[in-house]
Chain A
């Protein structure tokens, strides 16, 4: 194995409700959905209408600006509804599962085909949206040739799934996915694992890829941080990245010719009775876990508590998410909360006495713990931002709309998830991730 890349800056937030490594089958999901909002910047164009019968893999909609990118139904059944919101924006396309039927894309051997053929095959098979790119953290442009492809095989976010557990049995489809991806890049496929755990053999035995070992706290599992430390993105360059379970989805398409988005997700958080791993199909509904979730005023999050999306109690798992988190809502007042010693209050700093008990696990709620203020405290973001980038200055460049400065200060390398910890620790309660996405949108507009 290669040398360990040490990430010093960061923060592991210890939350209650970590899942035990027990895999159970989820209750049946009565609906599945694909949500265009999971793909930043996408304008969907519908290909089906309510009442249409679809198979798993049938395209539901495409990208209006890039019609070759297709978004497939996760299951066979009937299109029940196209839910629209303000300005008729499509929020979710809901499929009622019926007969277990799959579109047949007929398998493809990566080694016998060139980049163009594989790209066309992945696009047709509906798995292309799983491949994302930096800069901008959006769906990869099929016309690009990335200089490298990165796969982060560990997740350091709070209560995140353990991929070494999920991939403990060697997964042949993972290898098939890697083989396909390796054909798409002019460089290498990079797998990143963490030094604290013995990595799953699926990763260590993987051929056609280079393994990198990381150590240190969150966000060392963020692919953006890994790219920055292995082979950073400069202006004009592109790298791609894929989640390991989605690599297996690509592999299943290559080997079996089907769009099969079954995956293992973790249900965690302090409001879950017994946090567990579940075998599910992508886009499943949260109601299939209802019997394991405590009653009460809860926040349902598809993803983790830092970067996840708030969903309704009967909402759906996000396209890129492998985790559901349920935590209590925090809409309560607290008398003199800011003045109390705060033995039980979690803070990254040491202004509350809770710093005396670093190993304690917290059941944090969604309270903002204060009002939004202008930026005053400095040096706070830098402590949790392990890149050679000045986060505060980049954010201010974005707020000022200074394109050249954003470019110089590193907008190409970052995504909102890399700033999630900055947002968490922020004394001024600034909505940092939203600012970063605004900046990325500004860049996309400027460059197109």
Chain B
């Protein structure tokens, strides 16, 4: 039925048709509805059933637990801030109304540009942005103005992706570029104590007693100084939410990053399907742990004394390790390179957090930094391979 209708429409969009100019758009919708009837022409006669849509949809599915939890938590934090209690569904609905528009804006702006560019270039629309478009809202605070989401998304799609040649050619993770753009352009909207909980900046809001709205990272990084006001580690434990709250995610923060548990559910799906690299995920955590332990030994201030696993459950460390660092395009491509890349990402994230109080969230910068160096890491891994293979020759001659 539907197929017949599409077949009827199709000639209009093909070369010489009335709507030829919308060819890419038509193709994108058609292949969304139907896997195309294209057959192999040369090379292998059979092909694996997997395609880009499948792979990308697995990643989107993996973000669902973090997204749903993030919606609920947005409502929950707001309720906490004004000292009321709501039901689970009420909290979720409150959060849904805050978060859903951000997702819509992110997709509308990003896909709009992608479709347009595909049209101009005569390409098929790439599925890459379906994931980026979901990741961008998840790393933003719930009250971010929508026009900022639009500007940041447009900036990242154009300047982090399309100018490099589109999906597969970009150097940096587009979703993180969007966040970094906002972080440096509008710091007041994405850092400090007042942005992480929905509604607390509105005029006339009566905050509940002892509610600060600060993220655990901000609390912890306040103890990084070496001056006389140094608090003891026990005092820091009192100020921080419990380890359980940190893990389950009932804390202020970006929409998708707070619940380590929800993120781990996504991670399980990504690893089970083999879509994301276990090498990167594992080594990011290993790198973070190594740096955390090193700081424990150093112990120059209270933040350094904090056990390493706190870093995993605070801020965007887990989210970054699972969804951002594993982006195959901007990460290292070689197997060995992935270990090095991941390890250094984790290491730098903790390093930046602890040593640079101006950037309480080191994960974003660490990943972008390692994105930059990933090709260099690969270069040396490949060079090692070349040398090993050349040695073979000299060994034969000797």
Residues of A within 8 A of B (CB): 13, 15, 158, 232, 234-235, 299, 301, 305-308, 310, 325, 327, 329-339, 342, 345-352, 354, 364-379, 382, 388-390, 392-393, 408-410, 416, 420, 423-429, 431-434
B53 at the interface (CB under 8 A from A): yes
- Which residues of chain B in 28-53 are interfacial with respect to chain A, using CB atoms and an 8 Å cutoff? 31, 33-40, 42-53
Question: In the bound complex, how far is the Cα of B57 from the Cα of A390, in angstroms?
Answer: 28
Nearest residue in B to A331 (C-beta to C-beta)?
A: B37
| Closest chain A residue, CB of each to CB of B34 | A333
A330 to B45, CA, bound (A): 10
Asked whether B54 lies within 8 Å of A351 as measured between CB atoms, the reply is yes
Q: Are B34 and A373 in contact (CB under 8 A)?
A: no
Give CA–CA (A339, B57) in the complex, Å: 8
What CA separation (Å) do A122 and B64 show in the bound complex?
67
| A351 near B58: Cβ-Cβ < 8 Å | yes
Residues of A contacting B: mostly? loop
Q: A369-B48, A382-B335, A427-B50 known; A432 and B39 CB under 8 Å?
A: no
Tell whether, in the assembled complex, residue A431 and residue B42 are in contact, meaning their CB atoms are under 8 Å apart. Answer: yes
Interface bin, chain B: 35 or more
A365 contact set on B, CB distance < 8 A: 39, 46
A351-B273, A374-B167, A388-B389 given; A426·B39 CB < 8 A = no
B25 interfacial by beta-carbon distance below 8 Å? no
Question: From residue 320 to 355 of chain B, which have CB atoms closer than 8 A to chain A?
Answer: 328-329, 331, 333-335, 338
Is B50 a contact of A351 with CB atoms below 8 Å?
A: yes
Q: Does B169 contact A (CB under 8 A)?
A: yes
Give the contacting residue for B45; candidates A306, A376, A434; CB below 8 A: A306
State the CA gap A410–B55 with chains docked (Å).
Answer: 30
28 contacts between A and B (CB under 8 A): A232-B389, A306-B44, A308-B45, A337-B34, A338-B57, A347-B49, A351-B58, A364-B46, A368-B39, A368-B40, A369-B35, A369-B49, A369-B51, A370-B47, A370-B54, A371-B124, A374-B167, A375-B168, A388-B385, A388-B388, A390-B334, A393-B334, A410-B389, A423-B43, A425-B48, A426-B47, A426-B48, A428-B168
Closest to A13 in B: B46
- When the two chains form the complex, which single residue of A234, A325, A352, A377 contacts B49, counting CB atoms closer than 8 Å? A352
Evaluate contact between A379 and B277: CB separation under 8 angstroms. yes
* Contact call B385/A390, Cβ cutoff below 8 A: yes
- Give the contacts of B1-43 with A (CB-CB under 8 A): 2-3, 27, 31, 33-40, 42-43
Identify the B interface with A (CB < 8 A).
Answer: 2-3, 27, 31, 33-40, 42-55, 57-58, 124, 126-128, 165-169, 272-275, 277, 328-329, 331, 333-335, 338, 378, 382, 385-386, 388-390, 392-393, 396
Q: Are A349 and B52 in contact (CB under 8 A)?
A: no
Residues of A within 8 A of B378 (CB): 393
Chain B hits for A433, CB < 8 A: 42-44
Given contacts A371-B52, A409-B382, 12 further A-B contacts (CB under 8 A): A299-B45, A330-B37, A335-B3, A336-B33, A349-B48, A351-B50, A367-B40, A370-B31, A370-B47, A370-B54, A378-B331, A388-B389
Residue of A nearest to B27 (CB): A371
Question: Smallest CB–CB gap between A238 and chain B, Å?
Answer: 13
- Cβ-defined contact, B51 with A370, below 8 A: yes
B90 to chain A, nearest CB (A): 32
Contact yes or no, B45 A301, CB < 8 A: yes
Contact partners of B35 in chain A: CB under 8 A: 333-338, 367, 369-370
Q: How far is the CB of B267 from chain A (nearest CB, A)?
A: 15
Q: How far is the CA of A370 from the CA of B390 in the complex (A)?
A: 39
User: Once the chains bind, are B46 and A424 in contact (CB under 8 Å)?
Assistant: yes
The reply to whether A372 and B47 form a contact with Cβ atoms under 8 Å apart is no
- Kindly state the separation between the CA atoms of A375 and B333 in the bound complex, as whole angstroms: 11
Which one of A329, A346, A376 has the greatest number of beta carbons of chain B within 10 Å? A376
